[in-house]
Structure 1
Amino acid sequence: MPRFDPLPDRRPALVAGASSGIGEATAIALAAHGFPVALGARRVEKCQEIVDKIRADGGEAIAVHLDVTDPDSVKSAVEQTTVELGEIEVLVAGAGDTYFGKLDAISTEEFESQIQIHLIGANRVATAVLPGMIERRRGDLIFVGSDVALRQRPHMGAYGAAKAALVAMVTNYQMELEGTGVRASIVHPGPTKTAMGWSLPAELIGPALEDWAKWGQARHDYFLRAADLARAITFVAETPRGGFIASMELQPEAPLASVKDRQQLKVDKEALNS
């Protein structure tokens, strides 16, 4: 007799922050793998455009208005998803934005806004779906973290603090939900090419890039694609019962070095060892 009943064939998923970037790519990937998907975001009209594309490709999806900083919006989004798709089996909590600026240059209100969306917002949407998951004795809470939570970066102190606190929250979920059948996971993206943060003016991004290089945090200029993270999150959601992915970090692979660069690296290493 198996230790766990297999996951059901139909597993409705709610993706928070699905109007662009990693959330959009994740919704598309989940739908392609057979998950009925609710795309939740404040820009519900953008979600509807993505829904139309998913449906055109044979997937099942709906758009729901979701503002994770608004309790009524969260409640409404969960209710609409449950009515139209069924009980939520998978939550991907990825709503958020980032704020560039040194801690001594941003206000407490700006700092708090990052805590509200990345930590409290993630908690709010998880709290809304957890009772049903616990009752059914199965479900996946998948949180989108950041490598900034693991290794802080200058100019991202508010974002990094919120994501570091998110790690603590997910770890507590893992301990407190043990034995309920509900799995809690966190996926940490490294530098990823999305609209989040990179539409900021050069006077904010430029100094940040200089300081990242100073602290050894800008080894190369390659970025992950949103689809890379979507693949990882889908893998977490599809993990068979009996195990779970507690934490996963993805980093962009560096561009291939030329033969000349590799030869110079060899010379440098030999010189260091001589």
Structure 2
Amino acid sequence: MPRFEPLPDRRPALVAGASSGIGAATAVELAAHGFPVALGARRVEKCQELVDQIRADGGEAIAVHLDVTDPDSVKACVEQTTSELGDIEVLVAGAGDTYFGKLAEISTEQFESQVQIHLIGANRVAGAVLPGMLERQRGDLIFVGSDVALRQRPHMGAYGAAKAALVAMVTNYQMELEGTGVRASIVHPGPTKTSMGWSLPAELIGPALEDWAKWGQARHDYFLRAADLARAITFVAETPRGGFIANMELQPEAPLAATKDRQQLKVDEEALSGASEATGEETA
């Protein structure tokens, strides 16, 4: 006799922060794996575009307005999702943005905004789905963390503090939910190519990149793709009963040295060719 009843075939999922980036990619990936998905975000029109794409590919999805800083919005989102898709079996809590700035230079209000979104917002949406999961004795709470929570990075003090606190919260969930059938996991992305943070002015991003290089936190220029994280999160959600992924960290693989050498050689050749054309000389 199995130790646990298998997970049901139909597992509705709510993805918080699904209008772009990792959240959007995760919603698409979950739907491709058979999860009915509610895409929640403030930019609900962006979610609807993804819903249309998912449905065209044969998946099941709805777009729901969700502002994790607003208790009424969270409640309404969960109610609509449950009404249209069924009981929420999987929550992916990944709503939020980041703010670049040194702690001595940003305001307390800016600091607080990061805590409100990444910590309190995650707690609020988890708290809204948790009672049903506890009653059914199964469910997955999957939180999107950050490698900044594990290794703090200058110019991201507010974001890093909020994500570090998120780690503490998830760890407590894991201890307190033990034996309930509800699993809590956290997935930490390394540097990922999304719009989050990179729309900020160059005068904020430039000094940050310089300091990351100084502290050895920018070893190469390759980034993860949102789809890389989506696959990881879906893997966590699909883990069979009897085990769970407590913590997962993904980092971008560095470019192969030979590839970098060829790229540099090409740049050097192009530069030399350009110089020769300018002087009328030929190269060997």
TM-score > 0.5 by shorter chain? yes
CA RMSD of aligned residues (A): 5.1
Question: Could you say if the C-alpha distance between residues 105 and 11 of structure 1 is closer, same or farther in structure 2, counting changes exceeding 3 Å?
Answer: same
Question: Could you say if the C-alpha distance between residues 260 and 124 of structure 1 is closer, same or farther in structure 2, counting changes exceeding 3 Å?
Answer: closer
Question: Could you say if the C-alpha distance between residues 260 and 54 of structure 1 is closer, same or farther in structure 2, counting changes exceeding 3 Å?
Answer: closer
How many angstroms apart in 1 are the aligned matches of 2:57 and 2:89? 22
Question: Could you say if the C-alpha distance between residues 129 and 268 of structure 1 is closer, same or farther in structure 2, counting changes exceeding 3 Å?
Answer: same
252-261 vs 67-76, which deviates more? 252-261
Question: Could you say if the C-alpha distance between residues 45 and 264 of structure 1 is closer, same or farther in structure 2, counting changes exceeding 3 Å?
Answer: closer
How many angstroms apart in 1 are the aligned matches of 2:248 and 2:78? 26
Runs of at least 5 residues in structure 1 that lack an aligned partner in the other structure:
none
| Length, aligned pairs only | 274
How many angstroms apart in 1 are the aligned matches of 2:266 and 2:47? 50
Q: How does 1:1-274 map to 2 (within 5 A)?
A: 1-258=1-258
Runs of at least 5 residues in structure 2 that lack an aligned partner in the other structure:
273-282
Deviation at 1:232, TM superposition (A): 0.1
SS at match of 2:152: coil
Q: Which has the larger radius of gyration?
A: 2
TM-score, structure 1 as length reference: 0.95
How many angstroms apart in 2 are the aligned matches of 1:37 and 1:178? 26
How many angstroms apart in 2 are the aligned matches of 1:235 and 1:66? 25
Describe the superposition over 1:216-269 as per-residue Cα deviations: whole angstroms up to 9, x where unpaired.
000000000000000000000000000000000000000010289699999999
How many angstroms apart in 2 are the aligned matches of 1:266 and 1:47? 41
Deviation at 1:64, TM superposition (A): 0.3
Question: Could you say if the C-alpha distance between residues 260 and 248 of structure 1 is closer, same or farther in structure 2, counting changes exceeding 3 Å?
Answer: closer
How many angstroms apart in 1 are the aligned matches of 2:266 and 2:39? 50
How many angstroms apart in 1 are the aligned matches of 2:264 and 2:96? 42
Deviation at 1:201, TM superposition (A): 1.1
How many angstroms apart in 1 are the aligned matches of 2:156 and 2:141? 25
Question: Could you say if the C-alpha distance between residues 146 and 268 of structure 1 is closer, same or farther in structure 2, counting changes exceeding 3 Å?
Answer: farther
TM-score, structure 2 as length reference: 0.91
Describe the superposition over 1:111-159 as per-residue Cα deviations: whole angstroms up to 9, x where unpaired.
0000000000000000000000000000000000000000000000000
State the identity %. Answer: 91
Q: Which runs of 4+ in 1 moved over 2 A?
A: 259-274
How many angstroms apart in 2 are the aligned matches of 1:233 and 1:154? 27
Question: Could you say if the C-alpha distance between residues 184 and 260 of structure 1 is closer, same or farther in structure 2, counting changes exceeding 3 Å?
Answer: closer
Deviation at 1:59, TM superposition (A): 0.2
How many angstroms apart in 2 are the aligned matches of 1:271 and 1:57? 46
Question: Could you say if the C-alpha distance between residues 217 and 271 of structure 1 is closer, same or farther in structure 2, counting changes exceeding 3 Å?
Answer: farther
How many angstroms apart in 1 are the aligned matches of 2:147 and 2:240? 26
Deviation at 1:180, TM superposition (A): 0.1
How many angstroms apart in 2 are the aligned matches of 1:69 and 1:255? 39
SS at match of 2:253: coil
Deviation at 1:165, TM superposition (A): 0.1
Question: Could you say if the C-alpha distance between residues 254 and 132 of structure 1 is closer, same or farther in structure 2, counting changes exceeding 3 Å?
Answer: same
Deviation at 1:80, TM superposition (A): 0.1
Question: Could you say if the C-alpha distance between residues 105 and 82 of structure 1 is closer, same or farther in structure 2, counting changes exceeding 3 Å?
Answer: same
Describe the superposition over 1:16-72 as per-residue Cα deviations: whole angstroms up to 9, x where unpaired.
000000000000000000000000000001100100000000000000000000000
How many angstroms apart in 2 are the aligned matches of 1:78 and 1:14? 8
Question: Could you say if the C-alpha distance between residues 58 and 212 of structure 1 is closer, same or farther in structure 2, counting changes exceeding 3 Å?
Answer: same
How many angstroms apart in 1 are the aligned matches of 2:50 and 2:266? 48
Question: Could you say if the C-alpha distance between residues 151 and 265 of structure 1 is closer, same or farther in structure 2, counting changes exceeding 3 Å?
Answer: farther
How many angstroms apart in 1 are the aligned matches of 2:144 and 2:113? 17
